[in-house]
């Protein structure tokens, strides 16, 4: 695990019992017929800049990713509320 992902987990009060953990988050711009999707795989560096990237894409392509309705998938038990809070507040 690199420092960025370890810091991401720690800053959310999350811990994984396994070294093989993963988190993926999918954002879409429409509930019925999405025309844009953004997939986040927690393993990348510079997570603190992810919100800047997403909002830049939204402005450039005139769309809005529905953060409250993001789908997340993870192997970390009981982590969904912390992940959802991060998506809404930081992405």
Rounded distance, CA 87 to CA 66, Å? 10
Read off the pLDDT of residues 66-78 as tens digits, 9 standing for 90 and up.
999 988 889 899 9
Cα 40 to Cα 48, 72: the distances in Å are 13, 9
Read off the pLDDT of residues 7-30 as tens digits, 9 standing for 90 and up.
888 889 998 877 777 889 999 999
Rounded distance, CA 27 to CA 34, Å? 10
State the pTM of this model.
Answer: 0.62
DSSP helix/strand/coil, 65? coil
């Amino acid at each position: 695990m690199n420092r960025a992902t370890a810091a991401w987990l720690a800053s959310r009060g999350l811990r994984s019992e396994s070294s093989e953990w993963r988190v993926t988050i999918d954002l879409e711009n429409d509930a019925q017929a999405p025309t844009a999707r953004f997939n986040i795989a927690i393993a990348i560096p510079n997570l603190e800049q992810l919100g800047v990237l997403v909002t830049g894409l939204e402005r450039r392509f005139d769309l809005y990713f529905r953060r409250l309705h993001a789908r997340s998938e993870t192997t970390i038990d009981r982590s969904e509320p912390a992940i959802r809070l991060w998506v809404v507040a930081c992405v």
